[in-house]
């Protein structure tokens, strides 16, 4: 395979809802690009993408797949992506390295949920979009309705470049109003005749052609002058104007295709070559805010956007050449960990079909194998550079569950598999929670997590259970209380003895120090001899005061008392959750000249703290999350009704592009499987994000329920 220069490369990400035909269109583009000599089908499980067992089982894309086609002396890198929001990670990583989005729309349904979601992500990543209306060969195809829905989606900036002559089962021809020709297809292998426009279509085609000229002129001042002067633009001038509008997301050209029948694919590829931006138009910044030009003459640098583990090949790293030229055998340095990596082999990738190449230049996409210390989101450099490109920012998780191996001896193996899974799919998050005593797995939705279960069951041959995740509650107090505890144990020989008197009060940020308290009805002034302040790992503070006078407790036992307190704070007195935001004053106690030791005072301190805590108006705090829901207006009432059952606090509403945006605060305890519920009540048309906000006190009835559940659990144990 030859080396393509930067200006002869185009990088595309295929976007669209489930069943829009992205994978079939990709297959057709590879066929026309001579990468394959026979087109596979999703139904026959023979496509170049959708090549994993689970994708073939479900007959849908679950992972993104890098493909390529060679056409008219250009290389088109194509990333086929999933259509479901649950697998959005593949789309987001593709946006990092692709320069143009090719939005595939099912002509039977027009713009649908998946289309809308993908369009929003494309806007956030500022990617130009070309629209391909697919499945025009279906009996229920509606060109007019689909075009109207596309215009609404893109705020009226969509521009019809082609329209079908005979949409429906016999669809085989369209009129291209850019070059004013009719394309009539003879078979299902892309063979066509280029014909004059029929007389009955002349007026309509001329009207659309003029509209296209006006749109092109709007985006280039020199073209505007030509158009005013001559009242016409050449085909090349129209291309120039559309390219300018496309790059700035001011024009969204619409094409018509039948991917299944290979109608329109070649003409679409030709437009992409002529009008889609080349890789050197992209601006990539490093973490130091340096802009690195996509220049083949620059220092060599690659960014890894995806990592996959294949059974016989090992780890495969997919990358974009950010700068310079990369050659086989080149040594590069990982900017994240300063380790050396050798590019032992490079491949142009079309799914699992990979062609070995010796050189790649800036802007190209490819893959390599057997990198030792390089993962997704890392940069490799040569030429003495230490560039570290900004990481792909994946959306926050929306679905969480606890996971457990059915066979206890598999726990360690499960951990290893989950870590590898996260490396391949960064939107699968794994947390080993000491606090909750659970492994928590988070993802983009229930479908996403069910794919993980399938992989564990079928690929790794491991049976697992999903469990309701526990909630990381916090415990604290609302008033002052005191307690004392004597630990005494005698069992022959040296015994154990330690007695601790302590007072606790709530810690309030900025509150002045106090040493006057009423203890058991008596005013008492404490001598604040020593003070230790701890920022707790789980949030909040502990302030520990030594108020011992007269040697009632030896100073060497004070750390043991603190250790006992900390142990009980790690396993709170109410529900076993972490305790926080406390001041503890140890003001009295007793020792025994023989039997007192560290363990005695640790146990005395632990139990005195537990008793004081329960007297101090204890309260349970729960994590509360900010959520933002994007929902169609007609489903707003149902969404708000559901939120009310979840103890949500509505904080605001606004509108954007025909969608309502609802902001609320919801306790994490009420968010279990919310993504599934939201999808059900909106027919999959809504999406949401969530992030931690703060801890708030749980309502009294909820606290009572939690206390009873914990008591029952302790009895069972």
Query: Residue 305: which of 690, 632, 666, 11 has the closest Cα?
Result: 11
For residues 332-346, give the mean pLDDT. 96
Confidence (pLDDT) at 655: 84
Examine the domain organization and report whether 272 and 355 are in the same domain.
no
Domain at 691, CATH number: 3.30.70.240
Contact at 8 Å (CB) between 365 and 318? Answer: yes
Percent of the chain with pLDDT over 70: 99
Residues 94-105: what's their mean pLDDT? Answer: 97
Average pLDDT of span 233-261: 96
Residue where one domain finishes, among candidates 352, 381, 410: 381
| Cα torsion 224, 225, 231, 235: sign | negative
How many helices (H) and strands (E) in the chain? 16, 40
% the chain with pLDDT above 90: 85
Q: Are 354 and 339 in contact (CB under 8 A)?
A: no
Q: Are 118 and 11 in a shared domain?
A: yes
Domain membership of residue 711 (yes or no) is: no
Q: State whether 581 and 683 are in the same domain.
A: no
Helix (H, G, I), strand (E, B) or coil at 438: strand
Residue 623 contacts residue 579 (beta carbons within 8 Å): no
Report the C-alpha gap between 4 and 74 in whole angstroms.
Answer: 7
CA 629 remoteness from chain centre: 16
**For the residues of 349-366, what is the DSSP string, one character each?**
EETTEEEEESEEETT-EE
Query: What is the per-residue pLDDT for 717?
Result: 57
Render pLDDT for 568-624 as a digit per residue (tens, 0 to 9). Answer: 999 999 998 999 999 999 999 999 998 999 999 999 999 999 999 999 999 999 999
85 shares its domain with 98: yes
Give the structural domain span for 31: 6-280
Give residues with Cβ within 8 angstroms of 79, minimum separation 6.
11, 12, 13, 14, 64, 65, 66, 67, 94, 97, 98, 365
233-243 burial, b at 16+ Cβ within 10 Å, e below that, comes to: beeebbbbbbb
For every residue of 594-655, DSSP letters joined together read TT--HHHHHHHHHHHHHHHHHHS--EEEEEEEEEEEEEEGGGHHHHHHHHHTTT-EEEEEEE
Question: Is residue 390 one of the residues assigned to a domain?
Answer: no
| Per-residue pLDDT at 580 | 95
271 and 321 share a domain?
Answer: no
Over residues 498-549, the pLDDT tens digits come to 999 999 999 999 999 999 998 878 898 999 999 999 999 999 999 999 999 9
175: tokens are: 């009129």
Q: Which two tokens stand for residue 664?
A: 């609320």
388 in a domain, yes or no?
no
- Tell me the C-alpha distance between 488 and 414, whole Å: 44
State residue 116's pLDDT score.
86
CATH number at residue 135: 3.40.50.300
Predicted confidence (pLDDT) per residue in 681-697, tens digit? 998 888 888 899 999 99
Same domain, 539 and 685: no
Q: How many CB atoms lie within 10 A of CB 3?
A: 15
560 plus 493 within the same structural domain? yes
3-state secondary structure of 557: helix
Q: The domain that contains 356 carries what CATH number?
A: 2.40.30.10
Where is the domain boundary, 280, 313, 331?
280
CATH number of the domain where residue 530 is located: 3.30.230.10
Q: What is the average per-residue pLDDT within 451-457?
A: 95
Which tens digit of pLDDT belongs to each residue from 133-188? 999 999 999 999 999 999 999 999 999 999 999 999 999 999 999 999 999 999 88
Same domain, 61 and 195: yes
Q: Is residue 391 part of a domain?
A: no
Is the domain of 531 the same as that of 413?
Answer: no
670 within a domain of the structure (yes/no): yes
Following CA atoms 301, 304, 309, 314 in sequence, which dihedral angle do they give, to the nearest 10 degrees? 10
How far apart, in whole angstroms, are the C-alpha atoms of residue 353 and residue 306? 17
- Residue 637 domain-assigned? yes
Residue 428 has pLDDT above 70, yes or no: yes
Distance of CA 470 to the CA centre of its chain: 23
Report how many domains make up the chain: 5
Residue 578 CA to residue 566 CA, distance in Å, equals 10
Does 707 reside within a domain? no
Write down the pLDDT at residue 40.
94
> pLDDT-based confidence at 716, cuts 50/70/90?
low
Sort residue 551 into left (φ over 0), alpha (ψ -120 to 50) or beta.
left
Pairing of strands 496-506, 582-590: antiparallel
How many C-alpha atoms does 605 have within 13 Å on its Cβ side?
Answer: 28
pLDDT digits (tens, 9 = 90+) for 646-670: 999 999 999 876 678 999 999 999 9
Length of the chain: 717
Residues 569 and 422 in one domain: no
pLDDT at residue 215 tops 70: yes
What are 394-419's pLDDT values in tens digits?
Answer: 998 999 999 999 998 999 999 999 99
Q: Does residue 71 lie in a domain region?
A: yes
β pairing state of 325-327 and 331-334 = unpaired
pLDDT at 385: 96
Count of CA atoms in the C-beta half-sphere (13 A) of 393: 5
CA of residue 303 relative to chain centroid, distance: 18
Mean pLDDT of the chain: 94
End-to-end CA distance of the chain: 66
Residue where a domain terminates, one of 601, 617, 633: 617
Q: What is the CATH number of the domain that holds 453?
A: 3.30.70.870
Higher-pLDDT residue of 347, 713: 347
User: How is 665-682 classified by DSSP, letter by letter?
Assistant: EEEGGG-TTHHHHHHHHT
Query: Would you say residue 493 has pLDDT above 80?
Result: no
Q: Which pair of tokens denotes residue 565?
A: 């307190």
What pLDDT does 404 receive? 95
pLDDT of 241 > 80? The answer is: yes
Helix 199-218, helix 235-247: angle, nearest 10: 50
The strand pairing partners of 501, in sequence order, are: 484, 588
* Whether residue 530 is found in the same domain as residue 658: no
The tokens 């492994």 sit on which residue? 439
Strands ordered across the beta sheet of 74-80? 65-71, 74-80, 9-15, 100-106, 129-134, 252-256, 158-160
| pLDDT in the model for residue 578 | 95
Q: Which of 369, 302, 367, 260 is nearest to 39 (CA)?
A: 260
Measured distance CA(539)–CA(17) in Å, rounded: 42
Taking residues 462-478, report their average pLDDT.
95
Same domain, 273 and 320: no
pLDDT reported for residue 117:
87
């Amino acid at each position: 395979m030859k080396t393509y220069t930067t200006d002869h490369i185009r990088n595309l990400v295929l976007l669209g809802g489930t069943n829009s035909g992205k994978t079939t269109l990709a297959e057709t583009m590879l066929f026309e690009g001579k990468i394959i000599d026979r087109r596979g089908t999703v139904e026959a499980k023979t496509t170049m993408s959708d090549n994993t067992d689970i994708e073939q089982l479900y007959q849908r894309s679950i992972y993104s797949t890098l493909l390529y086609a060679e056409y008219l002396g250009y290389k088109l890198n194509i990333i086929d992506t999933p259509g479901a929001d649950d697998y959005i990670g593949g789309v987001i990583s593709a946006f990092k390295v692709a320069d143009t989005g090719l939005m595939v729309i099912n002509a039977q349904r027009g713009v649908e949920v998946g289309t809308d979601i993908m369009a929003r992500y494309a806007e956030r990543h500022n990617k130009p979009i070309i629209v391909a209306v697919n499945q025009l060969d279906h009996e229920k195809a509606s060109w007019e309705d689909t075009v109207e829905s596309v215009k609404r989606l893109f705020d009226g900036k969509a521009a019809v470049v082609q329209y079908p002559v005979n949409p429906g089962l016999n669809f085989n021809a369209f009129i291209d109003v850019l070059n004013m020709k009719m394309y009539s297809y003879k078979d299902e292998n892309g063979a066509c005749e280029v014909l004059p426009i029929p007389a009955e279509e002349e007026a309509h085609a001329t009207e659309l052609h003029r509209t296209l000229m006006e749109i092109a002129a709007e985006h280039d001042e020199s073209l505007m002058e030509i158009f005013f002067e001559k009242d016409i633009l050449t085909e090349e001038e129209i291309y120039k104007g559309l390219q300018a509008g496309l790059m700035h997301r001011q024009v969204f050209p619409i094409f018509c295709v039948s991917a299944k029948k290979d109608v329109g694919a070649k003409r679409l590829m030709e437009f992409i070559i002529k009008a889609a931006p080349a890789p050197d138009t992209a601006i990539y910044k490093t973490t130091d805010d340096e802009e690195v030009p996509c220049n083949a003459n620059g220092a060599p640098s690659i960014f890894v956007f995806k990592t996959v583990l294949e059974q016989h090949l090992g780890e495969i790293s997919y990358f974009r050449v950010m700068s310079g030229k990369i050659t086989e055998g080149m040594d590069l340095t990982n900017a994240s960990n300063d380790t050396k990596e050798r590019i032992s082999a490079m491949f142009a990738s079309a799914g699992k079909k990979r062609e070995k190449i010796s050189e790649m230049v800036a802007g190209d996409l490819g893959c390599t194998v057997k990198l030792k210390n390089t993962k997704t989101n890392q940069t490799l450099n040569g030429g003495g550079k230490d560039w570290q490109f900004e990481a792909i920012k994946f959306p926050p998780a929306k679905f969480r569950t606890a996971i457990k191996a059915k066979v206890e001896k598999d726990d360690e193996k499960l951990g290893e598999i989950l870590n590898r899974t996260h490396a391949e799919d960064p939107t699968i998050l794994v947390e080993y929670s000491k606090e909750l005593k659970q492994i928590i797995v988070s993802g983009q939705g229930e479908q996403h997590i069910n794919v993980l279960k399938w992989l564990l069951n079928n690929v790794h041959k491991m049976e697992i259970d999903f469990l309701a995740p526990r909630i990381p509650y916090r415990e604290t107090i609302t008033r002052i209380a005191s307690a004392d505890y004597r630990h005494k144990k005698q069992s022959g020989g040296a015994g154990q003895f330690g007695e601790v008197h302590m007072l606790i009060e709530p810690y309030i940020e900025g509150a002045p120090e106090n040493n006057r308290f009423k203890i058991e009805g008596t005013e008492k002034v404490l001598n604040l001899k020593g003070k230790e302040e701890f920022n707790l790992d789980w949030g909040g503070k502990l302030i520990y005061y030594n108020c011992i006078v007269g040697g009632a407790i030896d100073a060497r036992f004070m750390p043991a008392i603190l250790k006992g307190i900390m142990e009980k704070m790690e396993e709170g007195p109410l529900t076993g959750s972490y305790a926080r935001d406390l001041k503890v004053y140890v003001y009295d106690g007793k020792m025994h000249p023989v039997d007192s030791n560290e363990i005695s005072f640790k146990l005395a301190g632990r139990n005195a703290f537990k008793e004081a805590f329960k007297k101090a108006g204890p309260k349970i705090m729960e994590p509360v999350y900010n959520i933002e829901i994007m929902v169609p207006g007609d489903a707003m009432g149902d969404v708000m009704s559901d939120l009310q059952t979840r103890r949500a606090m509505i904080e605001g509403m606004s509108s954007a592009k025909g969608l309502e945006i609802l902001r609320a605060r919801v306790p994490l305890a009420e968010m279990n499987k919310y993504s599934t519920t939201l999808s059900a009540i909106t027919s999959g048309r809504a999406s949401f994000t969530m992030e931690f906000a703060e801890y708030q006190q749980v309502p009294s009835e909820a606290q009572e329920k939690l206390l009873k559940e914990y008591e029952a659990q302790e009895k069972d144990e």
